Structure 1
Amino acid sequence: MDKISNTPLVVDLDGTLTPTDTLVESVIRIIRQSPINLLWLPFWLIHGRAGFKEKIAARSSICVELLPYHEPLLDYLRKEKAKGRRIVLATAAHQSIARAVAGHIGLFDQVLATAKNHNLKGATKLQAIRENVGSSFIYAGDSRADIPIWKAAEAAILVNVSWNTEKAVRQHVPIEHQLQGSDSVFALWFQALRIHQWLKNLLMFVPLLTAFSFLDISKLTLMILAFLSFSLAASATYIGNDIWDLENDRAHPRKRYRPFASGRLSILKGLAASAFLLLAAFTLALMVSSGFALMLLLYLALTSIYSLVLKEYMLIDVLMLSLLYTLRILAGSVAINVSTSSWLLSFSVFIFLSLALVKRCAELVSLEQNGATATRGRDYRVTDLTVLRPLGVGAALSSVVVFELFINAPETQHLYKTPHLLWLAAIGLIYWLARLWVKTSRGEMHDDPVIYAAKDRGSRITVMCIVTVILATHFLTVSALL
């Protein structure tokens, strides 16, 4: 055991020291810098894996300070370093990435990595370890591909390996140390898909409610299919956006814990899941109608434009968010083939602009509380709160004004049996929106106001009262109420 405790430690990078794949992240980074690079990737692969990594590294530099790291492994390496043990980083990642990581961590005595025409993977990595470290070493890895290196080692350090891999390694070498994550895969995917965000798509049921057709089974069935279609598509875009925005999320105090930003879910698996969800979403959309499928396509196009470009521009991003919310209502109208009034569209634009500004202000308040001065990846500063707060409150009040004008509109008198009761709904609306803004100013608001409203008891009661009043206004006469 004493011999093993003094044996040099050779540590892998991707999947071991960091849970993410630095090559995949580098590819995403250069595509983000210029989408035209996507067309060049097949031609760069012609030069072999080492040449491909060289091309990618020349055009991309990962921010190693923001990379997620396996902290328990780092703690173990620090303790061993303090004992005087030699620690070597050996990875198939490009040498520019490996050296940057080594420089940031400050634990490694030597770095072995891919360079030019020399791809340090598999047998090539083992040869490099023997040449630079010797035949006596302990290897820390994470995948089944590392088994040949473990077989040649004195002992193994296992990091988040599968049960089969662990069994195979134990047959050949002793285990010096083992680290296993405790996260539930199901819980991680639930978080990545953001199932809770599907609440936003309940807006699609608004036309069904305002047309008072919720007892029509055929329309209700179509709406459920439409809801599932939009929800699956939304989850696909959330995954895509999280992968696209990795570095910005890692710099955020809360978003850095998202599954892809933290490296707890594989980027490649995320891309595959996103593609599958989109296929399922369009299959359901076509079951509703071709017109609804076009609405879904429009939603995805606008969401992509927002994620890739517009979200980085001040105010334009919140305007786009309000339009995306309103688009959900329009999609619901198309799904059940009912018209949407201009009153409803005007109201939705103002109220969702206010909610979008709540979202931005909540982020800025959080940054202010953490001592930051500006958002990363968005053109907002903490000092903008002095303008954004009154703008958001103004948009909220504008939505209330539109609702009040709707109460006195001629069509309202025909649609509702007791239209004057809608004033009670207007009062409830004022209270709810004011409550959201007070909570935002106090720093108690969730990143998403819709999710906050679903969890907040006061908001739930208020919204239920508003809906109850609207239904009563339509179905009950004054005499029935008396």
Structure 2
Amino acid sequence: MKSAGRANGDEQPGAAAVPLAVDLDGTLIATDLLWEGLFLLLRRNPLLLFMVPIWALSGPARLKHEIARRIEIDPATLPYRQEVLARIQLEKAAGRRIVLATGTPKTFADAIAEHLGLFDAVLATEGLHNLTSKNKVEALENIYGKGGFDYIGNSRHDLALFNAARTAIVIAPDRHALRWQVANGCELITTPKPTWKTLVRMLRVHQWLKNGLIFVPLFLAHEYFNLPAIISCVLAFLSFSAAASAIYIINDFFDLALDRQHKTKRHRPFASGMLTIPFGLLCSGLLLLVSALTALSLPPLFWLVLATYLVTTTAYSVSIKRMLLIDVLTLAGLYTIRVLAGQAATGFDPSFWLLAFSIFFFLSLALVKRYVELRSTVADAKQRIAGRGYRPEDQEVIAQAGMGAGFAAVVVLALYIDSSAVFEQYNHPYMMWPLAPIILYMILRIWILARRDEMHDDPVVFILTDWRSQLMAAIGLLLLIIAVLLP
């Protein structure tokens, strides 16, 4: 253990200035690299999930070692706590030695120290020696002597360090560290706290509006006053919304590094470090439980659709999103699954016309999403954009395919309006003809704005927040109601 402590510096116990030792996970950065490394590992090879319990049973150091030797982190993208960086720079300017003392694997800690250029020494976990708690105390005291260092930390693992240090500084404390800080009255560095808006962003509540597609089969069947069917749709909506939020959270874990490079996604709760990964895992598990309990009162066919959605969207998060064209076809399918969920929940027969229209319409929107990413991401020719299977030169093909899919959706709608099914269900079928140009207007406008770089990175969110799109949707809805109810 002593040799591990001296491995990274030439410090002597009799140093004149008391060094400042800084913890890494939760202190210098607002995240935990063990959790981030785990999801980065699983993203590269999901089958290693079966090895994780075996490594963990051999101890945390073994788990850290196995993860660290398989992946690399990008220190430039990590969410550093600016309060700690400012304190380190101030102390370093005053001539103090700064030590990065962390239980994080040595390779990770060295990369961060090299990137920041603020540390005079690095003490970290090496091999099977886990440099946390008492082990970290021993390493620091072996170099600087008892009470020969100050320490900045944040968690229960740092309590032994707080007691051993000459001076303790607590930042963003968990309940154990906060209790110690209150009892001992040491310095507390405050950081921004999560609010209810943070939780709303974590759940991506605005994305629940997509699950409104569950009500489409009920509406098109003209069962407006069928109370049991309405209740079934509401329960299906709640079940799908809880499941979707659970998967969004998991998806955020797999995309942390990519989100931090994005101009807007870097502000997401987990990418920014406002919420921790363990908290997110707990929330995801509870949401899946809520989804399952809500689905118990619905037909077994709905369970099958929900399970298909969960499997597909998880596969999308792990690997499909990086597959050329397969990703957008999957996205279109995920929208259509919501329509099938509404039919499964109510027992209404599937409509070929509705499913065909949904596939083409949402394929067009999925292609818009990729097109916007291609336009907004800086990448060299012949080089794929981060986390995707596309290259800058694919823009024109994506745009043509997206507009073609949109036109196909309008053609399907026009054929449906002229079909015998419409003449049987609607009193005034001619009132539905304006729906075709309305949908065409919406699709073409979305693509024009995308080419102007004026489109939201999620076109569904754009439709739900754009007043012109809302007006077109309201006119279309009014025409459908008139076609059905007008004598």
TM-score range with shorter-chain normalisation? over 0.9
- Closer, same or farther: CA 49–166 of 1 in aligned 2, 3 Å: closer
Aligned to 2:331: 321
- Out of 70, 75, 98, the position equivalent to 2:86 is 75
Query: Which one of the candidate residues 117, 123, 130 is aligned to 1:106?
Result: 117
Aligned residue number for residue 447 of structure 1: 457
| Alignment-derived partner of residue 154 in structure 2 | 142
**Which amino acid is 1:85 matched to?**
R
- When residues 376 and 147 of structure 1 are mapped into structure 2, their CA distance, relative to the original with a 3 A threshold, is same
Q: Is 1:17 paired with 2:28? A: yes
Out of 251, 260, 277, the position equivalent to 1:250 is 260
Contact in 1 for aligned 2:379/2:392 (Cα 8 Å): no
- Partner Cα separation in structure 1 for residue 307 and residue 272 of structure 2: 30
Measured in 2, the distance between the counterparts of 1:71 and 1:371 equals: 35
1:126 aligned to 2:126?
Answer: no
CA contact (8 A) 2:235 2:295 kept: yes
- Structure 1 residues 431 and 33, CA gap change in structure 2 (3 angstroms): closer
Residues 133 and 161 of structure 2 are in contact (CA less than 8 Å); yes or no, is this contact kept in structure 1? yes
Asked if structure 2 preserves the Cα contact closer than 8 Å seen for 1:242 and 1:261, the reply is yes
Question: Where does the alignment leave 5 or more consecutive residues of structure 1 unmatched?
Answer: 478-482
The 3-state SS of whatever aligns with 2:411 is helix
Shift of 1:120: 1.2
The answer to whether structure 1 residue 422 and structure 2 residue 401 are counterparts is no
Q: Is the 8 A contact 1:155 1:173 kept in 2?
A: no
- Once the two structures are TM-superposed, the CA of residue 374 in structure 1 deviates from its matched residue by 4.6
Give deviations 1:159-179, integer Å, cap 9, x for gaps: 21257734532543642x613
Shift of 1:124: 1.5
The separation in 1 between residues aligned to 2:362 and 2:62, in whole angstroms, is: 49
* Root mean square deviation, CA, Å: 2.2
The question of whether the paired residues in 2 share the 8 Å contact of 1:367 and 1:374 is answered with: no
Q: Secondary structure at the match of 2:129?
A: coil
In the alignment, is the contact (CA less than 8 A) between 1:161 and 1:180 conserved in 2? no
Deviation, 1:206, is 0.4
Q: Equivalent residue for 1:179?
A: 190
Of 262-271 and 365-374, more deviation after overlay is shown by 365-374
Q: 1:369 to 1:63 in 2, by over 3 A?
A: closer
8 Å contact kept, 1:358–1:440? yes
In structure 1, the partner of 2:10 is: none
1:450-469, aligned counterparts within 5 Å?
450-469=460-479
The alpha carbon displacement at 1:101 in A equals 1.2
- Structure 2 equivalent of residue 152 of structure 1: 164
| Alpha-carbon shift at residue 228 of structure 1 (Å) | 0.4
Per-residue CA deviations over 1:257-280 (Å, capped at 9, x if unaligned) read: 221222221112212221221121
8 Å Cα contact 1:248/1:376 also seen in 2? yes
Residue in structure 2 matching 1:292, options 302, 312, 333:
302
Q: What letter is aligned with 1:24?
A: W
Q: Are the counterparts in 2 of residues 252 and 376 from structure 1 also a CA contact under 8 Å?
A: no
**Separation of aligned partners in 2, 1:164 and 1:41:** 28
C-alpha distance in structure 1 between counterparts of 2:327 and 2:57, whole Å: 40
Residue 177 of structure 2: which of 165, 168, 179 is its match?
Answer: 165
Q: Is the 8 A contact 1:8 1:85 kept in 2?
A: yes
Q: Is the 8 A contact 2:43 2:319 kept in 1?
A: no
> 2:166 corresponds to which letter in structure 1?
E
Is 1:362 aligned to 2:372, yes or no? yes
Aligned to 2:273: 263
User: Cα distance, 1:223 vs. partner?
Assistant: 0.5
Query: Do the aligned residues in 1 keep the contact of 2:269 with 2:275 (CA within 8 Å)?
Result: yes
- Cα distance in structure 2, aligned partners of 1:334 and 1:167: 51
Q: Give the Cα separation in 2 of the matches to 1:248 and 1:465.
A: 40
Distance 1:41 1:302 in 2: 23
Which deviations, in whole Å up to 9, do the C-alpha atoms of 1:306-335 show, x marking residues without a partner? 222221111111111111111111110111
Is contact 2:203–2:245 with CA below 8 Å preserved after alignment? yes
Q: How does 1:343-362 map to 2 (within 5 A)?
A: 343-362=353-372
Match of 1:188 in 2: 198
2:87 is aligned with what amino acid?
Y
In the aligned structure 2, how far is the partner of 1:400 from the partner of 1:36? Answer: 42
Q: Give, in whole Å, the separation in 2 of the partners of 1:146 and 1:90.
A: 11
Q: Matches of 1:399 and 1:90 in 2, distance apart?
A: 59
Q: Please give the per-residue CA displacement for 1:32-59, whole angstroms capped at 9, x wherever unaligned.
A: 3323322222332343332332233222
SS in 2 for 1:228: helix
* Count of aligned residue pairs for this structure pair: 471
Q: Distance in 2 between matches of 1:8 and 1:95?
A: 20
Which residue pairs with 1:335 in the alignment?
345
Distance 1:405 1:142 in 2: 64
Q: Does 1:53 align with 2:60?
A: no
Task: Verify: 1:32 aligned to 2:32, yes or no.
Answer: no
Decide whether the 8 Å contact of 2:133 with 2:159 is kept in 1: no
Query: Equivalents in 1 of 2:45, 2:445: separation in Å?
Result: 43
Change (3 A) 1:371 1:161: farther
| 1:123/1:376 CA distance change after superposition, 3 Å | same
CA distance in structure 2 between the aligned counterparts of 1:164 and 1:231, rounded to whole angstroms: 34
The aligned amino acid for 1:111 is V
Name the structure 1 match of 2:290: 280
Normalised by the size of structure 1, how large is the TM-score?
A: 0.92
Q: Distance in 2 between matches of 1:76 and 1:201?
A: 47
User: What one-letter code is carried by the residue in structure 2 that aligns with 1:40?
Assistant: M
Which one of 179, 199, 214 corresponds to residue 209 of structure 2? 199
Q: For residues 164 and 21 of structure 1, what CA distance do their matches in structure 2 show?
A: 17
Q: Could you tell me how far apart the structure 1 residues matched to 2:380 and 2:79 are?
A: 20
- Residue 105 of structure 2 contacts residue 126 of structure 2 at CA under 8 Å; is this kept in 1? yes
